[in-house]
Structure 1
Amino acid sequence: MIISHKYKYIFLKTTKTAGTSIEISLSRFCGSDDIITPLTSVDERIRQELGVMPQNYENYTRYLDPWEYRLEDINRLITERKIPKINTTFYNHMSASRVKRGIGSKIWYSYYKFCFVRNPWDKAISRYYWNMKKQGKIETLDESLQRNNPNDNFEIYTMKNRLAVDYVGKYETLMEDLEKISKKLNIPFDGWMPNAKGNVRNDKRHYSEVLNQEQREFIRKKCQQEISLFGYEF
């Protein structure tokens, strides 16, 4: 995840949508005050070679706005005469509601917020092979679907079941959408993207050749909001 004060945007990182590659690429243009969350050690080495490190993500402190005060905050303000504040540590795949709470309403509403989504059936297969190869989980596809929520991205970019971002790009048109975002924000994006987490999946079959009818309908049911919202079809 990136919160860029330099370009005034918030990139909410969803799962299995090339989010790590996007984050590494955009990190190159961040300023010293921007918030960049850490990656896994392998992916972090790619970014370190570019001279970029995670920064400002731990113990981010801000004072609460008056309308955010809770009873304990009011009591503290009265008894200790201290303006209430909170500390937040930002991390990858953080939900929109938690990011908003941590960064504050002023920044949240004034910055351009974006994320990426992916065809839910394709994403489920990608996750299955990722877990098998990188995490060493020996399980069937059915077990993977039951253990991993196929709709896990929804709360990252929504609040109270409503879109909480200004733009949702698609994995299927990633470069085109990222270029649109960069142009709008005046980010000097040059089209470079690392192949982070790539070359994991040996089985290159289309998801329609892997999923049986029951598995298809399971994903359709779990991800019906996302499917309807972005017009995905099997």
Structure 2
Amino acid sequence: MLYRLSYRPAQSLTFWCLWNFSIYNETRLTVISHKYKCIFVEVPKTGSTSVRAILGKPWKPHLDLWQIKNHMENYWTHVGGRTNRALEVFYLALPKQHRRSAGRKQFETYFKFGFVRNPWDRIVSLYERKEVGQLRDKMTFEQFVDWIQYSSATCIHSAPHRYQLDWFVDHNGNVLADFIGKFERLEQDWDFVAKKLGITQALPHWRANPRERPYCEYYDARTREVIANKFRIDIERFGYEFGK
């Protein structure tokens, strides 16, 4: 399904363009760990920074699992050092069918996981994030919700208004992930992943943004319903409720 931008809150075009660039021109990364034989899908604002601190150096700008699968079937996915740069050139010279077969086997055998978050809570976290210079000082929360509602899901920086489930499915809607945990029980779900991968490290608490008030207090009846309709797929699939 395609979506088109049909509305923009009454803000200057310059501001919207600069904000759209600054908030998503930062590190949004995909981790393919050959050490732990896993693929971590980073859905923004779901505790991803803490997980990356353990798994190591990221591979590519943030991709969903379907995109990762396609990349692994075509490109060298080891990073760092002259050896890997040389091997990347050699790998691209191999027959396409060979690369597809090797990449597909690797993708299928690696443990694929990520985390999701209550959509109402996640939208507040996006609004309050410090990386964009206190967005709340530049627009109201109601304006931000309207931008989330009407922005195009086909734009290059679609992370804020995209279903979280989209990060984990193929073009036919089939789930490619082996495990989808929840931000609300991050430590518990990370323990499950860690045991699966043979990792003994506890999850560090990086870049936490404590709030002065609960996310429920940001919403009125209208904005609550806007997010409920916008992210209905996530809410129903992952069993989320407002205020819980």
- Check whether TM > 0.5: yes
For each residue in 1:86-126, what CA deviation from the matched residue of structure 2 results, as whole angstroms up to 9, or x when unmatched?
xxxx213x111111101122211111100000000000011
Residue 70 of structure 2 is matched in structure 1 by: 101
CA distance in 2, matches of 1:112, 1:180: 12
Secondary structure at the aligned position of 1:20 is classed as helix
Alignment of 1:14-33 (within 5 A): 14-27=43-56
Q: Helix, strand or coil: the match of 1:16?
A: coil
Give me the whole-angstrom Cα distance separating, in 1, the residues matched to 2:228 and 2:217: 16
Structure-2 residue corresponding to 1:213: 221
Report the Cα distance in structure 2 between the residues aligned to 1:19 and 1:155, rounded to whole angstroms: 16
List per-residue Cα deviations over 1:161-198 (Å, max 9, x = no partner): 33220101100000110011110121222x140422x2
* Matched length: 168
Superposed CA RMSD:
1.7
Percent identity, aligned pairs only, is 32
Contact 2:169–2:177 (8 Å) recurs in 1: yes
Q: Greater shift after overlay, 203-212 or 14-23?
A: 203-212
> Equivalent of 2:183, from 151, 166, 171?
171
AA matched with 2:32: I
Give the match's secondary structure for 2:49: helix
Paired with 1:183 and 1:172, the residues of 2 have a C-alpha distance of 19
Please show how residues 54-203 of structure 1 align to structure 2 within 5 Å: 57=59, 90-92=60-62, 94-104=63-73, 105-130=104-129, 133-136=130-133, 137=135, 138-148=138-148, 149-159=160-170, 160-189=172-201, 191-196=202-207, 198-199=208-209, 201=210, 203=211
Tell me the distance in 2 between the aligned counterparts of 1:142 and 1:106: 46
* Partner Cα distance (1:164, 1:5) in 2: 18
What secondary structure is seen at the aligned counterpart in 2 of 1:102?
A: helix
Tell me how far apart the structure 2 counterparts of residues 151 and 233 of structure 1 sit (CA, whole Å).
18
Amino acid across the alignment from 1:116: F
Contact 1:182 1:188 in 2 (8 A): yes
TM-score (norm 1): 0.67
Q: Give the superposition deviation at 1:150.
A: 3.7
Quote how far apart the aligned CAs of 1:154 are. Answer: 3.1
Q: Which amino acid aligns with 2:37?
A: K
1:161 match: secondary structure? coil
* Kept in 2: contact 1:16–1:123 (CA 8 A): yes
- Whether the 8 Å contact between 1:114 and 1:165 is mirrored in structure 2 is yes
Partner secondary structure for residue 233 of structure 1? coil
Deviation beyond 6 Å, 4+ runs, structure 1:
none
Q: Which amino acid in 1 is paired with 2:176?
A: A
The amino acid that maps onto 2:239 is: G
Contact 2:187 2:203 in 1 (8 A): no
* Aligned residue type for 2:70: R
Q: Please list the CA deviations of residues 202-232 of structure 1 after superposition, one character each: whole Å capped at 9, or x if unmatched.
A: x431122211111111111111111111111
In the aligned structure 1, how far is the partner of 2:51 from the partner of 2:40?
9
- Structure 2 counterpart of 1:2, one-letter code: V
Normalised to the residue count of structure 2, the TM-score between the two structures is: 0.64
